[in-house]
Amino acid sequence: MTVSSAASASVPALPPQPLTAADLSHDRDFARALDASDTLAPLRARFALPTLRPDLIYFVGNSLGPMPHAVRALMQEELDDWAHFGVAGHMGARRPWFSYHEQLRAPLARLVGALEHEVVAMNTLTVNLHLMLTTFYRPEGRRAKLLVEKGAFPSDTYAVMTHVAARGLDPEVEVIELAPREGEWTLREEDVEARIAALGDTLALAMLPGVQYRTGQAFDLARLTRAVHAVGARCGWDLAHAAGNIDLALHASQCDFAVWCSYKYVNSGPGAVAGAFIHDRNVRDLDLPRHGGWWGNDPDTRFRMEPRFAPVARADAWSLSNPPILSTLPLIASLAEFDRAGIAQLRAKSVRMTALLEYRLREIPSVEIITPTASWQRGAQLSLLIGKNAHARYEAFKAAGLMCDYRESGRGVAGEGIVRLAPAPLFNTFDEVWRAAEIVRDVCTRTA
């Protein structure tokens, strides 16, 4: 299977309209009717949904997406090619290993709204974050501040802090952590803009989340990038929870870089090869400082084995080593499923699923949804505060067949935790949304 052959499979018609409160219903037949008219419903059969129990509701695609069935056959082909060709597979394999990552450019670009030469599949997320910080965090004189969100995913915080320290600067001084207002869960974009403006010419780089992992809040990339550029700084995004979840327009957003992992909504398997975006204006600048490796060298001269690094004018220039074929391969299968559906279609279904979930959960007394209500301020995920015995309730959800996850609330309140539910439009159903809400209601009523 090639990516282009998968992409040519039937593409559904125009995205359905979002559901409004007036359209919604608690009736199970309503959810079933939505499934019956869902043109994307056949895609569910293309995934190996976990079989831990027959009635399992897998709402953790925001953590680890399920395996596309197509991976098995592709993996077998790859193993057969390795066995048959040995080193000659670099050029002779069905998907030659020399240029393996290149076949992912087009589907990755479609996934994140980029030009093909702006994206590359390489490494893993935190590694890519360090590579991008090397290039785009350029402290000079008083312009040395690095703005991040407070309560970011720990790996991002560790990366930023250690990176700044490795540059010989004091992270306690240079890293600015932006928190929501007292008593609020999510950041207001006008507050982020105000902080950026206040930092002014001291700001070197802002590194923000496309979708916040704990609250599910989605940010307006173009708006905040504009604010960062207005003070002469650079702007990068961690899209771990955004890629494959919301429809992104990275090129148009003008952001300098973005990084994401592929094992969540992109369904490419544990530790799968991650992705990076570097804006066209930056990939053209061959003088940008960066870490170099032979796979970032122009492929036309790579095998001349010359001592001088000649970066290619593509995002590939940031890749270091020859691609890990076996952990890149699932991306081929998974991105083909995105192409089959179309990200706009998926997003439209996702908005409807999350709207139905929110509508059903909102009526449960001890449940507080901390994810924003507006569809453009969130992706698939809803984050719930579920009272003081949150962990016990979470265990009860799982025992009833609802696979979701639990995160500390981060507020240090005893017993308080956040349960995240993420119905994914590629493989979840509206009826599962209905059933999930039923489980939450039953458990919360029983343990009130």
**By the criterion CB under 6 A, which residues form the site for ligand PLP?**
124-126, 153, 155-156, 213, 238, 240-241, 261
Q: What is the dihedral of CA 388, 218, 372, 399, to 10 degrees?
A: -40
Q: At closest approach, how far in Å is the CB of 244 from ligand PLP? A: 13
Angle at 422 between CA 419 and CA 427, to 5 degrees: 145
Parallel, antiparallel, or unpaired: how do β-strands 275-278 and 119-121 relate?
Answer: antiparallel
Q: At closest approach, how far in Å is the CB of 236 from ligand PLP? A: 12
Q: At closest approach, how far in Å is the CB of 154 from ligand PLP? A: 8
Q: At closest approach, how far in Å is the CB of 106 from ligand PLP? A: 23
**For ligand PLP, the closer CB: 39 or 157:** 157
Q: Which letter, b or e, does each residue of 394-420 get, where b requires 16 or more Cβ atoms within 10 Å of its Cβ?
A: bebbbebbbbbbbeebeeeeeebbbbb
**For ligand PLP, the closer CB: 158 or 376:** 158
| C-alpha–C-alpha distance, residues 389 and 442, integer Å | 15
| C-alpha–C-alpha distance, residues 189 and 219, integer Å | 8
**For ligand PLP, the closer CB: 153 or 219:** 153
**For ligand PLP, the closer CB: 224 or 433:** 224
Q: 186 and 217 in contact (C-beta within 8 Å)? A: yes
**For ligand PLP, the closer CB: 268 or 366:** 268
Q: At closest approach, how far in Å is the CB of 211 from ligand PLP? A: 8
Q: How many CB atoms lie within 10 A of CB 333?
A: 24
Q: Which letter, b or e, does each residue of 120-149 get, where b requires 16 or more Cβ atoms within 10 Å of its Cβ?
A: bbbbbbbebbbbbbbbbbbbeeebbbbbbb
**For ligand PLP, the closer CB: 125 or 433:** 125
H/E element, 328: helix 325-341
Which amino acid is present at 27?
D
Distance, C-alpha 17 to centroid of its chain? 24
**For ligand PLP, the closer CB: 153 or 359:** 153
Q: At closest approach, how far in Å is the CB of 261 from ligand PLP? A: 4
Q: At closest approach, how far in Å is the CB of 199 from ligand PLP? A: 23
Q: At closest approach, how far in Å is the CB of 155 from ligand PLP? A: 4
**For ligand PLP, the closer CB: 174 or 238:** 238
**Nearest one of 338, 411, 319 to 6, comparing CA atoms:** 338
Distance, C-alpha 284 to centroid of its chain? 26
- Report DSSP state, residue 66: P
